[in-house]
Structures are given as structure tokens and as C-alpha cells.
Amino acid sequence: MNMIGPRERLSDAEIGERLRLAREGRKITQAAAAEMIGAARTTIVAIEQGKRRIQMGELQKLAAAYGTSANAILRREAVHLDMVPRFRKLQESEDETVEEATRLLNDLVRAEVELEDALGIRRERRYPPERPILPGDLYTQAEQHAQELRDWLGLGPGPVTDIVSILDLQLGVRVYVRRLPGKIAGLFAYDERAGACILLNASHPHERLTQSGAHETAHFVSTRRQPEVLTEDESFASREERYANIFQRCFLTSGREVRQRFAEITAGQSHLTRRHVILLAHAFGVSREAMVRRLEELGLARKGTWDWFVSNGGISDKDVAQVLGEIPERPSYKGLSRGLVPPRLALLVREAWKKELYSEGQLARMLQLDLHGIREVLDGAEREESEADELVRIPR
């Protein structure tokens, strides 16, 4: 453990508050915590209120039970925030897998903010204005907001090929891609200090991950201060979820551009074929089903067209290969540590390591990666340091 000097030491009240947040994040009662250190519940109450100084042995036992470390509790620059209770208010959060995903999002946000603090970086927010959902036609609002965001980002009519970089580098959202239980597609939360935060499932195919990212972007645009969990069995019953579902489709497949591409690809044809669907889905970077559903929505295909394809053999990967041939795979975040750590966070990690503020082991624990994973993120950092030259120094 790093030694903590007198001026760096946290007050008993600060330590108590950090312990309370860590305990509540793990849903451990004060009575259970007291039993872990062989004390009365009133002792835990006094420690959390800063009225009784905790002993190092007690701190180590409680920190381990709370899924953290004594060093993390005592480190001045360590960030302690807890978004878990906000998600518990949602019906979906009763699922243990959702709670685990929420804790992961919370821990990754906390790690990124701590790195910023350690490096003396203040992250400026240049978010587009929030667009609340108003009474009236939902489709018109979602379509307008999606097009406005595309214009604000300068995306033009092309496909969204990398939703993570758009969220991370252009919108300034804290976005993470990690393997989650299959039913969870994404989480969104907003914290006053950390800002907008999104966690996406790296186990899902690229097209599905892109759709989930666009869905969570809708919540960022319209209901920014409400936490949200997107699951595979989402019913889209609420007005907010229906809006997000429409926004997702309009953002990824602009109606204006879909109509134009559809007219070009089907010119002179009398029936919609698998080939048409494959070419359109590839052009917009979405799944075949999402593409056909969008055509149905825009009146370019009859209602029930996708169901007809499914009942008549579907549109297989073999069909795709016959139409497109061997094409390079789209960007994938599955199994790639550099993909699991988005671009901006990777820069923070490398800079913190080069300045010797954190070791490989500390960074791996903070970002919940193994040593092999953190070394992939740091790959090339030593060369960057050795090649540093006054000519390429950034003017400050």
C-alpha cells in the first residue's frame, strides 16, 4: 500500500462516506458489516458518520467484502460515486445480471474520472441540447431529433460504421464495451459529475451493438437524467422506449437516404428480393431484419415482409456471401482489449502509465482487465515515450 502523508490523509468523515457508498453498492447491511469485523452495528454507524476512526485491520476486511481495497478507500484521488441505487428503482434492475452490469458501469466510470483527476484533466461537455419528448406524434419528433443529431455531428447520409467512436470522440459520452449477459444490450446513466455514460454488450454482433448504441443515444438526447436498461426482450411499452426505438432506426437509416438507395437498387424490379435486402443492409451497416423492418415502416415494403422471408428460409450468411463475396469484417469489439477500452480512455491509461502514476496491475484492476488485456492497451507506449522530441511537443 502506498504511504499517505499527513496532508493527504482523508478525514474520518470522508473515509466513512466512502465505506457507506461501497457497502450500499454491494447491498450489505450495517449489521452484516459489523459482524465481519466482530463489532456492534452502532460501530459501523459511527464509522460511516466519521465519529469513530476505523482501524486498518477493520478497513481491510470491510473493503474486501465490499469488492474494493483499502488503498482505493484511502487514496485521495480515488473517485467514489454510486449509480447503482438509481437503477434499482427500475423494474428491470431486480434481475441480478442487470445489477452486476450496473456495478461494472459504475466502476468503469469511476476509474476514468479518477484518471482524469490524477492527470489534471477537466473534461469539457459539448453535448447537443436536450430535446424533451413532447405530446403529439412520436414518430415525427424522433425522426426530426435523429436527423438534427446527424446534422450536428456532420455525418452526412452515409452509414454509422463506428457508434462507439461517435459517442466517445464526437459526443463526449463515456462509453464502454464489455461482455455482458446475453439478455442485456446496453445501459445508460447520467451523473452530475461524470456526465452521460453508456455500457454496451461486446458479446453481441456488430450490427446489434450499433443498434443498441443508437438506442441509448436516444435516451441521451431526450431523457438524459433517467437511467435506462435495454434488454433483448424489451417490449417498448413506454412512450420513452417507443421514442428511443424510432430514434434508433431513423438515426442509423435516415428515411431520405433509404428511399434514395432503395430506388437505385430496385430500379426496374417488380419484387423485393434477398439480394436487395442484403445490399441495403450492407450499405447502412444494420442487420437484415432491421433493414426490412425499416422498409416496412417507410412503406417501401408491405407489412409482414420480414415474416414472409423468415417463413421461406430466411436470409442466411451463405446468401450474403453469394451476393457480397468475401468482404472484410466490420469493426468488432469482441475479444479485443483495445476495443474494450474506447479511444479517449486508452489515451488516459497510456499517459497515466507513462507518468508512472499507476502500475500495470493497478490499471488492470481499475479497468477490470487481465494483465494481458492492459498490456494490449499499453502496447507501443514505451516507444512513444522514447521517440518524444521537442519538435513534436504540443504547445501549451
Q: Do 226 and 240 meet the contact criterion of CB atoms below 8 Å apart?
A: yes
- Mark whether 238 and 137 lie in a shared domain: yes
Question: How crowded is residue 210: how many other Cβ atoms within 10 Å of its Cβ?
Answer: 28
Rg (CA), the chain: 24
> Do residues 100 and 224 both lie within one domain?
yes
| Residue at a domain's end among 30, 49, 76 | 76
Q: What is the pLDDT of residues 6-59, one digit of tens each?
A: 335 788 998 998 898 888 878 899 999 999 999 999 999 999 999 999 999 999
* Domain shared by 293 and 173, yes or no: no
**Residue range(s) defining the domain that contains residue 59:** 1-76
For residue 157, pLDDT over 50 is answered with yes
Q: CB of 50 within 8 A of CB of 16?
A: yes
Residue 206: inside a domain, yes or no? yes
d(CA 109, CA 102): 11
**Do the domain assignments include residue 336?**
no
212-225 per-position pLDDT tens digit: 999 999 999 999 99
- 248 and 259 assigned to the same domain: no
Q: Is there a single domain that holds both residue 95 and residue 175?
A: yes
Within-domain flag for 32: yes
Residue 347 exposed, middle or buried by CB count within 10 Å (0-12, 13-18, 19+): middle
**Coil, helix or strand at residue 202:** coil
Residues 7 and 23 in one domain: yes
> Is 331 inside any structural domain?
no
Residue finishing a domain among 51, 76, 101: 76
Would the pLDDT of 108 be above 70?
yes
Give yes or no: residues 146 and 195 share one domain. yes
299 lies in the same domain as 266: yes
Domain boundary among 212, 230, 252: 252
pLDDT digits (tens, 9 = 90+) for 164-201: 999 998 999 999 999 998 789 999 999 888 999 999 99
Both 383 and 370 in one domain: the answer is yes
Report the number of distinct structural domains present in the chain. Answer: 4
Q: Would 271 be classed as within a structural domain?
A: yes
Axis crossing angle, helix 96-119 with helix 343-354, rounded to the nearest 10: 50
In a domain, 347, yes or no: yes
Give me the mean pLDDT over the 247-267 stretch.
93
Instruction: Based on the fold, state whether residues 156 and 259 are members of the same structural domain.
Output: no
Q: Same domain, yes or no, for 282 and 248?
A: no
Looking at the structure, do residues 242 and 266 belong to the same domain, yes or no?
Answer: no
Residue 337 lies in a domain: no
